[in-house]
Chains A and B, each alone.
Chain A
Amino acid sequence: MEELKQKLKQQIIEALNLQDTKPEDIDDNAALFGDGLGLDSIDSLELMVLLERQYGIKVEDPREGRKILASVQSMAEFIQSKQTA
């Protein structure tokens, strides 16, 4: 899980071109949207694309997406649950 979260942080930084942000700057449980990393709705679409391209996981229900993309922790848990399913 730790390894997955580190990898995910790096992938988020690259996909969203978060200049001046390092993986260690992103707290596992910090909100990705709003007050946390300050991402917006287009970023959420890009993160959906990231999940599909990098992990082969398609999020069908947008309401589900809101919970999945809440934090790095929730994204990693979702990926792991899909990989072990």
Chain B
Amino acid sequence: MSNNRCYIQGSAAISAQPTFEGDFFSLPMIVTEANNLVAVEPDYKAFIPPNSLRRMSRLLKMGLTAALKAVQNSGQPSPDVIITGTGKGSLSDTEKFIRDIVEYQERALNPTPFIQSTYNSVNGLIALQQKSTGYNNTFVHRGFSFENALLDSMLQLAEGEVKRTLTGCFEEMTAEHFYIKSRIGFWKEADTGNAQLFDRNTPGSISGEGSTFFMLGDERTENTEACIKGMKMLYKPSAEALERGLKDFLDKHDVGIGDIDLVISGRNGDANTDHYYRILFSANCPATPEVPFKQLCGEHDTAGAFAVWLAAQILKQQQLPVSLQAFVANPPKAFRRILIYNHFIGEQHTFFLLEHV
């Protein structure tokens, strides 16, 4: 996908770090000792009326609030279309509904958890709040969920039929789901925490959650943070295909590796899958500064969106957040282009290229 008219006009991120309300760039990383990073939730009352708030589950509140804040930060009117991605949707509602089915023997089932367990419930709420009656879609494709939402948005902007798309993602972790994923080796066995994520060469990572939204538009505005030049998805690539994929991606955008000022990588401390990052970086861009991001937000299906948000903020502020400075001995004088490479459990691999505007 190639498009030079996709500008991030505004964004918002709710994550395990003070990205929504705090001064993320000057504060140190919020550290956890356990293997799950929990989102720092804002005061929702500033965004959602109390009568609506009372019925919403945690994920709906996070998704809707991040979306509304992204629109607010853009300074633009309502989006023409709303496109999101989620790997799991509202797990807490799904679990509640399934438990009720068992407990009440499929009778007297409360409608709210069922309604909210559907993947597109966040989109519906955003549309109601924004009075948006345009195209509205949610992509559910595991590690490509956000990426497909972004692809759809970029295509719609490229076609010129819409001016602004609200694009984002949302993910939550529950105790039940954490346990299920731990049974299949997703998480590290010993409590590792995010500060030691890269110190132990052991299988598994740490979990995360959050919601990230972008107001994307085909025009640069006063509030524009960065430009998304392109994105490329690769499914289960071999080492050769991955290297070729990176080269093709950069060639397509007429960018050499020397033009990249920073690489943001999705390495997550998992001894089973971090070799992809080593293969790619040691062979192709050994001299380019690289910072990982999953110690900040944890591993989850839509973590790639957090990396895009992070890249946009670095490009806008022209500096690295304090929490990432230790990874770069000699930071570049200016951040003009940032390459993001992320994969989800070694299956869904994505490159993003962002530019300063």
Least Cβ distance of B154 to chain A in Å?
A: 36
B330 at the interface (CB under 8 A from A): no
**Which residues of the partner chain A approach B111 to less than 8 Å between Cβ atoms?**
42, 45-46, 49
Nearest chain-A residue to B103 (Cβ)? A53
| C-alpha gap A63/B59 in the complex (Å) | 35
Counting chain A residues whose Cβ lies within 8 A of the other chain, the interface size class is 10 to 19
Least Cβ distance of B115 to chain A in Å?
A: 7
Nearest chain-B residue to A38 (Cβ)? B51
B272 at the interface (CB under 8 A from A): no
Would you call B54 and A18 a contact (CB within 8 A)?
yes
| C-alpha gap A17/B112 in the complex (Å) | 12
Would you call A53 and B104 a contact (CB within 8 A)?
yes
Nearest chain-A residue to B115 (Cβ)? A42
Contact pick for B54, options A16, A52, A53, CB 8 Å: A16
Least Cβ distance of B97 to chain A in Å?
A: 12
B283 at the interface (CB under 8 A from A): no
Contact residues of B between 97 and 140, Cβ < 8 Å to A = 104, 107-112, 115
Would you call B50 and A20 a contact (CB within 8 A)?
yes
| C-alpha gap A42/B54 in the complex (Å) | 12
Contact residues of A between 29 and 54, Cβ < 8 Å to B = 38, 42, 45-46, 49, 52-53
B252 at the interface (CB under 8 A from A): no
Nearest chain-B residue to A45 (Cβ)? B111
Contact residues of B between 34 and 79, Cβ < 8 Å to A = 50-51, 53-55
Would you call B115 and A19 a contact (CB within 8 A)?
no
Contact pick for A52, options B53, B107, B112, CB 8 Å: B107
Would you call A17 and B110 a contact (CB within 8 A)?
no
Nearest chain-B residue to A43 (Cβ)? B55
| C-alpha gap A52/B105 in the complex (Å) | 13
Would you call A52 and B115 a contact (CB within 8 A)?
no
**Which residues of the partner chain B approach A38 to less than 8 Å between Cβ atoms?**
51
| C-alpha gap A21/B214 in the complex (Å) | 36
| C-alpha gap A42/B52 in the complex (Å) | 11
Contact pick for A49, options B51, B110, B115, CB 8 Å: B110
| 12 A-B contacts (beta carbon < 8 Å) | A19-B54, A20-B50, A42-B55, A42-B111, A42-B115, A45-B111, A46-B110, A46-B111, A46-B112, A49-B108, A49-B109, A53-B104
Binding site for A on B (CB under 8 A): 50-51, 53-55, 104, 107-112, 115
